[in-house]
Structures are given as structure tokens and as C-alpha cells.
Amino acid sequence: MMQQPQTSVLGLDIGNVRIGVARASWPDGIPTKLTVLANDANLINELAKLIENENVAFLVAGQPRTLEGRETDQTRTTLKTVDFLRQELNLPIYLQDEAGTSLKAEEELRNNHKNYLRSDIDQLSAVYILEDFMNDHRGGKNLD
């Protein structure tokens, strides 16, 4: 009997220039860095390839807000990108508060690596976004 492929979920740290991408097996995997995609005209094609190759069931996009929970210009830009992805991709996209993930990623990289790129921060932020989502929805619960 053929075994069903493992279902995955992708976490996205959406920026104006780049999108950090993390991957985890769903529902009990450990998020890991996957790649960084350019936020340009090729985004849908590149994301569609990842979705197919990784057997992705849904996406989790970080929702930027202030530490007090208020929306910012980046919140509105990110939500526009998420709406666009929802129209172009046939997958659910969940939002996860990403407050502090970039700062946490940069601090970790600064403490552990002499040289790192902005794209390294984006990928690690995507890991934290996905990790937070998975902790909030352990075992696949509360996905309404």
C-alpha cells in the first residue's frame, strides 16, 4: 500500500521586497527555514511551485502590528498581499500576529552569526510566525 505524502504548511513573513518562507509538517512538525522569495511579478509562480513540491495544505502569513496591537502602513500592505494570494492560490491563508518576530530573529542572528543578511532575518521571522501559529493550534485544533 502506498503511503500518503506528508502534509505541510508554509509560514510567510511578507515584506515589500522579500518574503521569508518557513515550512513545517502539519500538525506536529517543527518549523524550519525554507527560502526567501522576491515580492515581485514572479511571486505567484514561485509560491505555486513550493506549494506543489512541499504538499502544502495552507499558508500562515504574519500580520504586522505595533506591540500595542495597532495597525500600521505595513499591516495594510501585508493584508493587500494576502488578499492577492487568496485570489491567485487555491489555499486557505491564516493570519498570525508577528509582533516582535523580526526583532527576535535579528537578535538571534546577531548573537549567533557574525555575518547575516536581511533575507536571513526574513526566513527566521517566518519560522517564528509559523511556530507561534502551530503553538496556538496544536494538533490542528481551532482552524476556523
pTM beyond 0.85: the answer is yes
Distance CA 135, CA 122 (A): 20
Q: Judge whether 76 lies within some domain.
A: yes
Q: Judge whether 2 lies within some domain.
A: no
- Helix (H) or strand (E) holding 63, with range, is strand 56-63
Question: Residue 6 has what pLDDT?
Answer: 74
Q: Judge whether 59 lies within some domain.
A: yes
Question: Residue 1 has what pLDDT?
Answer: 47
State the burial class of residue 99 (Cβ atoms within 10 Å of its Cβ: 0-12, 13-18, 19+). Answer: middle
Q: Judge whether 1 lies within some domain.
A: no
Q: Judge whether 42 lies within some domain.
A: yes
Domain that residue 39 falls in: 8-140
Q: Judge whether 130 lies within some domain.
A: yes
Question: What's the number of domains the chain is made of?
Answer: 1
Q: Is 93 strand, coil or helix?
A: strand
Q: Judge whether 39 lies within some domain.
A: yes
Q: Judge whether 97 lies within some domain.
A: yes
Distance CA 50, CA 86 (A): 16
Distance CA 115, CA 100 (A): 21
CATH number of the domain that 55 lies in?
3.30.420.140
Print pLDDT tens along the chain (144 aa).
445 567 999 999 999 999 999 999 998 899 999 999 999 999 999 999 999 999 999 999 999 988 788 899 999 999 999 999 999 998 999 999 887 788 888 888 888 877 888 899 999 999 999 999 999 887 666 676
